[in-house]
Structure 1
Amino acid sequence: MAADTAAKRVKPDPRIIGTHNGHFHADEALAVYMLRLLPDYASAALVRTREPTLLETCHTVVDVGGEYDASKNRYDHHQRTFDTTFPDHKTKLSSAGLVYMHFGKAIIAQHTKLPIDHPDVDILYRKLYDDFIEAVDANDNGISKYEDSLLQQAGIEKRFKDGGITLPSLVNDLNHEDPLAVGAPSRDTEDQPQAEEDHRFSQASALMGKAFLRKLHGAATAWLPARTLVKDAFNARSDAHPSGQLLVLPRAGIPWKEHLYNIEEEAGLPADQTVLYVIYPEKEEPGSKWRIQAVSKNLSSFENRKSLPEPWRGVRDAELDAVLGSDVEDGAVFVHASGFIGGHKTEAGVRAMAALALAS
């Protein structure tokens, strides 16, 4: 009787995720991992096949089947007519992008323990697409970061091969791994049993999924909280210097750059009023040295809005004290030869350096 009662309570999970067998790729490896982050899919079985009758038995199908229909949980992107993109983006989605577009907010809400309609969930949703998912979509769809024809016209060539260290390339390596490396008898890739191929796919899925989770965790626990700190510093910038072009951060290690550009854009700051320098403590401990950093023209640029003065560059310690003069207390540490960053032993000293730099 007790056994009958237990049997009634235990309901097997009918959900099965389907994807294609054979050569696997980063996008479906990530798509499957992301689905399994959700409670409804946590115990879902995986079927890797191209057989239509088997795919029909699957609750959710990704990267195979020739159909994109979210109402039926079908997420393939290989149709000739497929041109779906993430909101406000131009890159065609892969199966990873499709799964993320439909399930990403639920994944983020679960990870952060926030309501799915919380504004922070939406911020992280867009952040993770920009920083991680879009590159996977582009790779799978053969979309280059730059227009190749324009690079050729400009005579720009790569200095070295960098494709071998991308996540998709590491996933691809798992397709060709020597079976002896995983303890199986040696055989041609085409003849390997499905179980061995599925094992390698699970390794690829974990590789992609754990990288995604690290990005999500970092964005949720470091990047997003930093926005509030940068926003507060931005609002107080006129107290830091009358020009309003100096930002003072309260502690070390704050990822400020992307936030600053976004906050400035939201505020509609004219170009001649944007922040030029940011100062912050080098370490968390009391009595830490302080840094002054020039703000670059954009997030990926090595060119600054205003570099530190040329006479300071490449100068250190007492020699730098002499160059700075009596307006700055002794204790200067260095200024980088490129003029993008410098340091002083005290907050007062670095503030004085900033004032001189702004006046120059």
Structure 2
Amino acid sequence: MATENPSKKLRVDGPLIGTHSGHFHADEALAVSMLRLLPTYSSSPLVRTRDPAVLSTCHTVVDVGGEYDDAKRRYDHHQREFTTVFPGHDTKLSSAGLVYMHFGKEIIATVTGLPSGPDLDILYEKIYTDFIEAFDANDNGVSVITPKDLTAANLTKKFEDRGFSIASVVNRYNYTQSATPNAAKSKEDQQDEEDARFQKASSFVGEQFVIEATDRANAWLPARNAVAKAFSERLQYDAQGRILVLPDSMPWADHLYNLEKETPRPDGVAPQVLYVLFPESTEPDSKWRIRSVSKENSGFENRKDLPNPWKGVRDEELDKVSGIPGCVFVHAAGFIGGNKTFDGALAMAQKAVEF
């Protein structure tokens, strides 16, 4: 268990990791958990302290100490002069970003088994963009959209989402207290309890990272070729290329957005795909889904909803409203629907693009 007691910290099985004691945050929780995914640190103990003498005995220190020096394995970002960012990004790094920048490729390779090469490079950038950068921004007080811009646009939140983020989950572990009042405990016992709460938080964010990395490696990366093939064949389903047909359910959105930007567009072809079709399962008689393509980086807003008269309607009633047999449903929000057959789903898409 992590402790500030120097006599305990010397009992090491791996290189000693140090971070600060007291209130903890998502960035150092993630930094520690990522390090421990590497063989070098897999059995490393952790010391949580602000004592420079104790930190000086650590092999690797994150988020404390006022020093960033990769050669010395020091990864703090609180110095006034610190301005380091991940290549190609503008967000100042936190301890999570620093650890990821220096160890990320090795960590991803360890977790996923990917060898060095283009796929690993792609995943390294993708995971920073979609996962790590938010930790850096949160710890450095950077909002997705600045409050002054929201005010200038006269926009207000529809609901409060402060408790919904990974950072808010980590923060809750700071306040998970035992039944025994602190006044009745020794300082060492209090520190042990705080360290145990940090370990739970670190395990939680580490698990999220592993899920992110493995899903990207096992599903997102392999989908690139399948989506590219479907994109090249889209004109057989719609002369303007507004319908994409996939052979299976897979992560397609990122790849589609990139293909639309990168691929030369012939005259008469629409600039964007509006609907994506895919089977619900790999069974030969699988039902098919039709999905509206979301506007890039816009959450739940679609490029083109499924037709309003279809929304919230099911089965035979939807057959009548749409004029297409075999309909199963269209969601009330208009972003997804289903049909019993591929031909039926394609007919829904072909009618919807002209609606």
Output the TM-score relative to the length of structure 2. Answer: 0.87
With over 3 angstroms needed to count, the CA separation of the structure-2 counterparts of 1:69 and 1:256, relative to structure 1, is same
Between structure 1 and structure 2, the one with the greater Rg is 1
Q: 1:212 aligns with which of 193, 209, 212?
A: 209
With over 3 angstroms needed to count, the CA separation of the structure-2 counterparts of 1:204 and 1:243, relative to structure 1, is same
State the one-letter code of the partner of 1:201.
Answer: F
State the one-letter code of the partner of 2:153.
Answer: A
State the one-letter code of the partner of 1:77.
Answer: H
Report the CA distance between 1:198 and its aligned residue: 1.9
Q: Deviations over 1:159-210 (max 9, x none)?
A: 4332223222222222222233xxxx42159964232222222122112111
Say what the alpha-carbon RMSD is for the aligned residues: 2.4
Q: Which residue of 1 aligns with 2:280?
A: 282
Q: Which stretch shows the higher mean deviation, 28-37 or 217-226?
A: 217-226
State the one-letter code of the partner of 1:264.
Answer: E
Q: Which stretch shows the higher mean deviation, 230-239 or 330-339?
A: 330-339
Matched, 1:187 2:177: no
Q: Which stretch shows the higher mean deviation, 237-246 or 25-34?
A: 237-246
Report the CA distance between 1:352 and its aligned residue: 2.3
Instruction: Classify the secondary structure of the residue corresponding to 1:244.
Output: coil
Q: Which residue of 1 aligns with 2:352?
A: 357
On the 8 A contact 1:257/1:299 being kept in 2, the answer is no
Distance 1:340 1:178 in 2: 43
Q: Which residue of 2 aligns with 1:295?
A: 293
Q: Which residue of 2 aligns with 1:69?
A: 69
Q: Which residue of 1 aligns with 2:7?
A: none
Report the CA distance between 1:71 and its aligned residue: 1.5
With over 3 angstroms needed to count, the CA separation of the structure-2 counterparts of 1:249 and 1:143, relative to structure 1, is same
Q: Which stretch shows the higher mean deviation, 82-91 or 350-359?
A: 350-359
With over 3 angstroms needed to count, the CA separation of the structure-2 counterparts of 1:77 and 1:314, relative to structure 1, is same
Matched, 1:153 2:152: yes
Report the CA distance between 1:275 and its aligned residue: 1.4
Distance 1:272 1:238 in 2: 10
With over 3 angstroms needed to count, the CA separation of the structure-2 counterparts of 1:121 and 1:188, relative to structure 1, is farther
On the 8 A contact 1:33/1:205 being kept in 2, the answer is yes
Report the CA distance between 1:41 and its aligned residue: 1.2
Report the CA distance between 1:104 and its aligned residue: 0.7
State the one-letter code of the partner of 1:248.
Answer: V
With over 3 angstroms needed to count, the CA separation of the structure-2 counterparts of 1:41 and 1:245, relative to structure 1, is same
Structure 2: runs of 5+ lacking an equivalent: 1-11
Report the CA distance between 1:343 and its aligned residue: 2.3
Aligned residues: 340
With over 3 angstroms needed to count, the CA separation of the structure-2 counterparts of 1:357 and 1:201, relative to structure 1, is closer
Structure number with higher relative contact order (C-alpha < 8 Å, ≥ 6 residues apart): 2
Output the TM-score relative to the length of structure 1. Answer: 0.86
Instruction: Classify the secondary structure of the residue corresponding to 1:321.
Output: helix
Q: Which residue of 2 aligns with 1:8?
A: none
On the 8 A contact 2:14/2:42 being kept in 1, the answer is no
With over 3 angstroms needed to count, the CA separation of the structure-2 counterparts of 1:344 and 1:197, relative to structure 1, is closer
Structure 1: runs of 5+ lacking an equivalent: 1-11
On the 8 A contact 2:241/2:270 being kept in 1, the answer is no
Q: Deviations over 1:75-104 (max 9, x none)?
A: 000000111111111111110110011101
Matched, 1:233 2:230: yes
